């Protein structure tokens, strides 16, 4: 939703605000609005795939400021797309605009206000970690936010212009006027507060001398996301009276002057229709329907989230969702533990894919992860021939739609959506790993919370186009190690890059490769969540830092040795080698189809010896106390790298690697050593 030009009108009449020292209160927060505001207004990277650790740190500081002032935040997020389709054209228009801005940033640099792919996941995960009450709606969140704040008689925190129209007893606190970074103290009692501005509809109606009842009609006539009266509006008297060059603000002021003569909404609508001239019967019906929809959006219903926040009562599904969304999914959907894309698939069979900073000459990065989404669609809709999901995605500079057939093959056929939450853990894990084309032994020696990122990286190395080179993989793994080392120690500041790097246009090839990785990571997280997290969910904020990853690729391509980046025998170097060794290099003969949904529907067989070596050496790499074991593991890694680079056929070799058995080393260790130097340099 949103009333065009209304925020500018309010700011031009800033006397409408009241100064407030806000503390000791509940606060209902427009979560999607806050997420975008915090990220974009803090100068974090938008061009290289995001700065997630710094974003998480920022969220933590924001919540701390609230709690220091004894403010109880309740965050409400948008859920699925409006099922009526009334906002579809608005959503398409915004997506087209983002595609244009993303291309301009990729080509020229600067800022484009493109939210990085994993930012929403970082936002939700951090709020859960901080124990901030969080709810994800089953549809648009605006009315539910307003209803909840109205019943609790507490303010709303948002920058959405629709909250200037809702009748909120405690008013609206605009985010851009909310000075949370400088918490104040109240005299000797040391009571903390946040300076902000408060807005109420009564102050608006008093300033512009209109009746409170006609305010929703004003929003509808002005044109919001549900009402498109631009062509009709331009023929009206208030449009002709607006001063030249005044733009939307002048138009709104003239509309408000015209509204002073009306007491009730109905007579206002009838008068507006007369001003629109001779309309056909069909056009008049369309205008009346639009005005009706536009005004109804501001009528508040009883809040269905109130009991969820107070006693954990799970909201009932919307009438159109009953029978389509399984009962077990209601709680995780409301808690934000399942993506709202699930609602769009089940109710609309339609999904809108996000826009990333990428050049229009390159294909959409989402194509790489489409096989993973097909598995998710199969779990949700079954594998029937008639089932299709319409994906909206970028194609060049256009917004394109493509009907995708769900994939339900292999072990996934044993799962039923209604009983998915009761399926055995081993079965759900097999479905996930089959989708990613990864054998369990590849992950067995890794820290549990890094297994999903490594499995995704294996998938990415096999499926990305063009194939990622060694520097891209090494930089990605170095980023994972750096994040892991700082996760519980130095904090996100150690990973922050200078702002000049964040504004620069990205290297197109590097950006496209990492966009594909993030698309795979995001869809894998969603699939893992749908399956009940058979692999532990990773700490998302520490998986990828865009400017750091791009700089590392450049450094590695300058032939910088890894010893200059990580100490040779450090824990971080051992973890790096363990992660790297778990990811097989892509061979020329490997196809680009997903192992789970490829042409034959069967995952490619992995060399048995490589699997055995990987499981053993990973356990060795994580040992700190035995230098001999460490050296032995390094030699094992050298052998594996040399064998992979040379493309030796190891399928028929069945000998298992033993930590102290030196009888299975290559006959020419100097060759392995030479190849190792080539790989690490």
Q: What is the pLDDT of residues 496-533, one digit of tens each?
A: 544 555 667 889 999 999 999 999 999 999 999 999 99
Whether 172 has a pLDDT exceeding 90, the answer reads yes
pLDDT for position 487 = 72
pLDDT (mean) for 545-557: 91
pLDDT for position 477 = 94
Cβ–Cβ under 8 Å, residues 473 and 583: yes
pLDDT for position 351 = 95
Q: Compute the Cα dihedral for 34, 40, 41, 45 and give only its sign.
A: positive
The CA distance from 379 to 417, in Å, is 6
Banded pLDDT at 661 (limits 50, 70, 90):
very low
pLDDT for position 643 = 36
Whether 629 has a pLDDT exceeding 70, the answer reads no
Q: Of the given ranges (155-164, 262-271, 459-468, 654-663), which has the lowest mean pLDDT? A: 654-663
Whether 144 has a pLDDT exceeding 70, the answer reads yes
Mean of pLDDT over the chain:
81
Domain boundaries, the chain: 1-314, 315-410, 420-605, 607-681
**CA dist 175 to 65, 224, 553, 630, Å?**
14, 20, 37, 53
How far, rounded to the nearest angstrom, does the alpha carbon of residue 214 sit from its chain's CA centroid? Answer: 38
**CA dist 568 to 276, 479, 484, 562, 565, Å?**
77, 17, 17, 8, 9
SS3 assignment, position 60: helix
Whether 43 has a pLDDT exceeding 80, the answer reads yes
Q: Of the given ranges (9-18, 99-108, 266-275, 300-309), which has the lowest mean pLDDT? A: 266-275
pLDDT for position 221 = 85
Highest mean pLDDT among 87-91, 176-180, 480-484, 551-555: 176-180
Q: How many other CB atoms are there within 10 angstroms of residue 243's CB atom?
A: 11
pLDDT for position 680 = 35
Cβ–Cβ under 8 Å, residues 60 and 14: no
Cβ–Cβ under 8 Å, residues 575 and 487: no
Q: How many other CB atoms are there within 10 angstroms of residue 223's CB atom?
A: 22
Percent of the chain with pLDDT over 90: 56
Q: Which helix (H) or strand (E) covers residue 29, if one does?
A: strand 25-30
Cβ–Cβ under 8 Å, residues 484 and 419: no
pLDDT for position 364 = 96
Q: Of the given ranges (96-110, 258-272, 286-300, 401-415), which has the lowest mean pLDDT? A: 286-300
Q: Give the pairing of strands 25-30 and 156-158.
A: parallel
Q: Of the given ranges (63-67, 130-134, 165-169, 648-652), which has the lowest mean pLDDT? A: 648-652
Whether 340 has a pLDDT exceeding 70, the answer reads yes
pLDDT for position 570 = 78
Q: What is the pLDDT of residues 52-89, one digit of tens each?
A: 999 999 999 999 999 999 999 999 999 888 777 777 88
Per CATH, the homologous superfamily of domain 1-314 is: 5'-nuclease (3.40.50.1010)
The CA distance from 584 to 643, in Å, is 11
Question: Strands (DSSP E) along 353-477, which ranges?
Answer: 389-395, 398-404
The CA distance from 226 to 172, in Å, is 22
Cβ–Cβ under 8 Å, residues 387 and 405: yes
Partners of 400 in the β-ladder: 393
Q: How many other CB atoms are there within 10 angstroms of residue 490's CB atom?
A: 11
Whether 574 has a pLDDT exceeding 70, the answer reads yes
Q: What is the pLDDT of residues 585-626, one digit of tens each?
A: 765 444 333 444 443 334 444 333 333 334 433 333 333 333
Percent of the chain with pLDDT over 70: 78
pLDDT (mean) for 429-456: 94
Whether 674 has a pLDDT exceeding 50, the answer reads no
Terminal CA-to-CA distance of the chain, rounded, Å? 53
pLDDT (mean) for 284-291: 79
| Nearest in space to 338 (alpha carbons), one of 546, 134, 136, 614 | 136
pLDDT (mean) for 382-409: 90
Whether 247 has a pLDDT exceeding 90, the answer reads no
Cβ–Cβ under 8 Å, residues 369 and 523: yes
The CA distance from 96 to 427, in Å, is 40
pLDDT for position 677 = 36
pLDDT for position 200 = 96
Q: What is the pLDDT of residues 97-122, one digit of tens each?
A: 999 999 999 998 888 899 999 999 99
Query: How much helix, strand and coil, in percent to the nearest 5, is found in the chain?
Result: 55, 10, 40
Banded pLDDT at 272 (limits 50, 70, 90):
confident
pLDDT for position 268 = 86
| Nearest in space to 550 (alpha carbons), one of 106, 246, 67, 234 | 106
Cβ–Cβ under 8 Å, residues 414 and 426: no
Whether 301 has a pLDDT exceeding 80, the answer reads yes
The DSSP secondary-structure symbol of 296 reads H
């Amino acid at each position: 939703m949103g009333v065009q030009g209304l925020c500018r009108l309010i700011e031009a009449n800033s006397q409408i605000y009241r100064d407030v020292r806000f503390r000791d209160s509940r606060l209902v927060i427009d979560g999607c609005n806050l997420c975008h505001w915090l990220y974009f207004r803090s100068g974090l990277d938008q061009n290289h795939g995001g700065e997630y650790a710094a974003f998480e740190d920022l969220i933590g500081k924001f919540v701390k400021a609230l709690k220091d002032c004894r403010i109880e935040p309740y965050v409400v997020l948008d859920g699925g797309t409006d099922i009526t389709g009334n906002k579809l054209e608005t959503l398409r228009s915004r997506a087209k605009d983002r595609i244009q801005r993303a291309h301009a940033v990729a080509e020229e640099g600067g800022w484009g206000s493109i939210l990085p792919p994993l930012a929403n996941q970082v936002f939700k995960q951090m709020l859960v970690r901080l124990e901030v009450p969080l709810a994800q709606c089953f549809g648009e969140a605006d009315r539910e936010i307003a209803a909840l704040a109205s019943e609790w008689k507490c303010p709303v925190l948002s920058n959405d212009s629709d909250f200037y129209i809702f009748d909120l007893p405690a008013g609206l606190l605009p985010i851009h006027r909310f000075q949370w970074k400088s918490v104040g103290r109240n005299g000797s009692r040391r009571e903390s507060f946040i300076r902000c501005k408060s807005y109420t509809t009564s102050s608006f109606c008093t300033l512009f001398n209109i009746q409170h009842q006609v305010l929703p009609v004003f929003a509808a006539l002005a044109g919001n996301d549900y009402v498109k009266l631009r062509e009709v509006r331009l023929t009206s008297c208030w449009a002709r009276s607006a001063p030249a060059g005044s733009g939307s603000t002048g138009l709104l002021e003239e509309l408000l002057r015209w509204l002073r003569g009306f007491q009730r909404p109905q007579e206002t609508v009838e008068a507006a229709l007369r001003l629109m001239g001779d309309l056909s019967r069909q056009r008049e019906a369309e205008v009346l329907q639009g005005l009706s929809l536009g005004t109804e959006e501001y009528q508040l219903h009883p809040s269905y989230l109130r009991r969820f926040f107070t006693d954990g009562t799970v909201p009932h599904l919307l009438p159109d969702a009953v029978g389509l969304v399984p009962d077990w999914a209601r709680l995780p959907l409301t808690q934000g533990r399942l993506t709202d894309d699930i609602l769009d698939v089940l109710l609309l069979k339609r999904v809108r894919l996000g826009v990333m900073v990428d050049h229009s000459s390159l294909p959409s990065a989402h194509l790489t992860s489409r096989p993973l989404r097909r598995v998710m669609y199969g779990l949700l809709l079954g594998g029937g021939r008639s089932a299709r999901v319409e994906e909206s995605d970028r194609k060049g500079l256009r917004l394109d739609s493509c009907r995708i057939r769900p994939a339900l093959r292999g072990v996934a056929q044993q799962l039923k959506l209604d009983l998915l939450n009761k399926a055995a853990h081993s079965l759900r894990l097999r479905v996930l790993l089959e989708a990613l084309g990864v054998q369990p032994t590849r992950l067995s020696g890794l820290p549990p919370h890094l297994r999903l990122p490594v499995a995704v990286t294996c998938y990415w190395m096999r499926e990305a186009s063009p194939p990622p080179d060694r520097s891209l993989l090494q930089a990605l793994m170095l980023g994972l190690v750096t994040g892991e080392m700082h996760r519980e120690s130095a904090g996100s500041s150690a990973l922050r890059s200078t702002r000049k790097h964040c504004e620069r246009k990205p290297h197109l090839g590097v950006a496209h490769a990492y966009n594909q990785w993030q698309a795979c990571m995001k869809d894998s997280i969603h699939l893992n969540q749908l399956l009940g997290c058979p692999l532990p969910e990773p700490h998302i904020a520490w998986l990828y830092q865009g400017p750091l990853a791009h700089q590392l690729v450049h450094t590695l391509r300058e032939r910088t040795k890894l010893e200059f980046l990580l100490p040779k025998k450090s824990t971080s170097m051992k973890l790096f080698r363990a992660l790297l060794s778990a990811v097989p290099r892509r061979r020329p003969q490997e196809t680009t189809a997903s192992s789970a949904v490829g042409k034959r529907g069967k995952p490619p067989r992995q060399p048995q010896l490589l699997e055995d070596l990987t499981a053993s050496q990973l356990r060795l790499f994580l040992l700190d106390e035995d230098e001999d074991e460490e050296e032995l593991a390094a030699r094992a890694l050298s052998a594996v790298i040399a064998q992979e680079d040379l493309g030796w056929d190891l399928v028929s070799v069945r000998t298992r690697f033993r930590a102290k058995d030196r009888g299975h080393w290559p006959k020419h260790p100097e060759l392995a050593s030479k190849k190792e130097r080539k790989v690490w340099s």
